[in-house]
Amino acid sequence: MKFHIVTFGCQMNVNDSDWLARALLARGWQEAPEDEADLVVLNTCSVREKPEQKVHSALGRLGQSFRGRPQAFAAVGGCVAQQLGEDLLRRYPFVRLVFGSDGIAQAPNALERIAAEPGLQMALLDFLKTYPEREEAWEGGAAAHADAPGPRQCFVNIMQGCDNFCAYCIVPYTRGRQKSRRPEAVLRECREQIARGVREITLLGQNVNSFGQDAGGAGMNFAELLHAVAALPGLDRLRFTTSHPKDIAPEVVRAFGELENLCPHLHLPLQSGSDAVLRRMGRKYDTERYLRIVRELQAARPDIALGTDLIVGFPGETDEDFERTLEMMREVRFESSFSFKYSDRPGVAAVNMTPKVDPQTASDRLSRLQELQNEITSEALESRVGAVCEVLFDGPSRVQSEDAAFWRGRDSGGRIVNVPLCGAEREEDLAGRMMPVRITEAKKHSLIGEKTGEAW
């Protein structure tokens, strides 16, 4: 059987898709282009309206592609699958499996059964009370051995779901209530990844700061887990995402100054700079609390790079509310942000909130916000010129020239750095290696640097 996976949405979906691919490869399936695959898996997102529309568009395209290939079928996983459930099976007969965030652990076995039983359809949509551990699937995967070419960065899930129920967010309804993973399982996977050559691990969860606040954490909080993972031999870099400001503990803030391999980079969603909007969103912090966290982070690690999420056009947002968001951006100086117009999602509290912001007004606000972000990002990147940093390379850059081979990587602050190799060094393979680099030029969203030492 040949398969192809299409992933929409967040890093958790990317990680889920990677695991599912490895699990199928371990069973003898083969990856193939979409038009050659017997199975196409759509791993979906419904946090915003547009990704959900993309799923229906993709399924319409697959329906045409599968004509004349009766053995071909589709599976739909992730948040849209959890939200629409068995309606997907009825609406699209060629969809033979739908699975939610807890059901993915059973998906490889279900797909094998479906492939062997023509006409069978299945749904794996139940929420479980504990974190559903997945089978170890390395054979045939991209990171099978440390001495084989493969990724040197990976994600490791530490929890599933969320208990916050922010007024605009569908995650608690599509990924369920919070379930922390057992610490020993997290540490075991991290050790295995390091043994296979991974140098940088990102710990993943809807709200990693609340790890251990449920029974699954077995009494270990997130700061303790950070210290335990950071102490694993062979781990060069450690990151985590996403953090909810209301739950970040002083011990986590201090960890940025205590753990040498914890990267000075944090994504800390603000959502709005208006306290009135934050209250309506149900975020459970205000701008004073947020700014206090920022100051504490900067005191612990002065070189920390901060990113955020921002929503414009939330119901009831006034011009004054929006201006306060811009003021917060100027004060914090976020190096990057993901920004979106608010859109109603089914079942969330904000659906019933009024007044709704005019779509054109929301679009204008988003344009202004993104223009300001571009200015702040440019200034932050310009300030890096002349600095020396260590870059972990992931592959050849899209930036190339006749005189040099450019390689792309990231510094510890998460910034993209492109480095040219000239002359005989053009043949050097930097994938998965680290190298000291002096920043020589700032581009709009990236940096250019020159090597100052040998790669390792």
Residue 138 confidence (pLDDT):
64
Same domain, 435 and 420: yes
For residue 59, the surrounding DSSP H or E stretch is helix 49-65
For residue 439, the surrounding DSSP H or E stretch is strand 434-442
- Specify the residue for token string 């985590």: 240
* CA distance readout (Å), 34 to 62, 73, 107: 9, 11, 19
Residue 365 within any structural domain of the chain: yes
Residue 297 confidence (pLDDT):
98
pLDDT digits (tens, 9 = 90+) for 66-75: 998 989 999 9
415 with 390: CB under 8 angstroms? no
Query: Residue 276 maps to which CATH number?
Result: 3.30.750.200
Residue 346 confidence (pLDDT):
87
Residue 400 confidence (pLDDT):
82
Q: Looking at 383, 398, 415, which one is the last position of a domain?
A: 383
Helix axes 287-300, 319-332, angle to 10 degrees: 10
DSSP state letter for 319 = H
Residue 377 within any structural domain of the chain: yes
Same domain, 317 and 221: no
Tell me how far the alpha carbon of residue 212 is from its chain's centroid: 21
Q: Which two tokens stand for residue 197?
A: 């050559």
pLDDT digits (tens, 9 = 90+) for 248-263: 999 999 999 999 999 9
Same domain, 298 and 347: yes
Q: Which domain holds residue 428?
A: 388-451
Please state, for a pLDDT cut of 70, what percent of the chain lies above it: 97
Q: Which two tokens stand for residue 396?
A: 């050849």
Same domain, 219 and 118: no
| 220-235 average pLDDT score | 98
Largest CA distance in the chain: 64
Residue 280 confidence (pLDDT):
98
pLDDT digits (tens, 9 = 90+) for 338-383: 999 999 988 899 999 999 999 999 999 999 999 999 999 999 999 9
Q: Which two tokens stand for residue 151?
A: 């990724």
- The beta-carbon contacts of 141-147 under 8 Å, at least 24 apart in sequence, are 141/21, 141/22, 141/25, 141/26, 142/18, 142/22, 143/193, 143/196, 143/197, 143/198, 144/196, 145/196, 145/197, 146/195, 146/196, 146/197, 147/197
Same domain, 189 and 110: no
Q: Looking at 223, 238, 263, which one is the last position of a domain?
A: 263
Query: Residue 40 maps to which CATH number?
Result: 3.40.50.12160
pLDDT digits (tens, 9 = 90+) for 388-429: 999 999 999 987 888 899 999 999 999 999 999 998 888 899
Residue 135 within any structural domain of the chain: no
140-149, 185-194, 281-290, 338-347: range with lowest mean pLDDT: 140-149
Residue 11 has pLDDT above 90, yes or no: no
CA distance 375 to 326: 12
Give me the number of domains the chain comprises.
4
Same domain, 161 and 224: yes
Residue 52 has pLDDT above 80, yes or no: no
* CA distance readout (Å), 292 to 43, 173, 266, 285: 38, 31, 15, 11
Residue 176 confidence (pLDDT):
93
Residue 329 confidence (pLDDT):
98
pTM: predicted TM-score of the whole model, two decimal places: 0.91
Nearest by Cα to 221 from 276, 264, 183, 261: 183
Please state, for a pLDDT cut of 90, what percent of the chain lies above it: 86
CA distance 415 to 125: 38
The band of 142, judged by pLDDT with boundaries at 50, 70 and 90, is very low
Residue 111 within any structural domain of the chain: yes
CA distance 414 to 263: 8
Query: Residue 256 maps to which CATH number?
Result: 3.30.750.210
Residue 137 within any structural domain of the chain: no
Q: Looking at 213, 241, 263, which one is the last position of a domain?
A: 263
Residue 138 within any structural domain of the chain: no
Tell me how far the alpha carbon of residue 49 is from its chain's centroid: 18
Same domain, 278 and 192: no
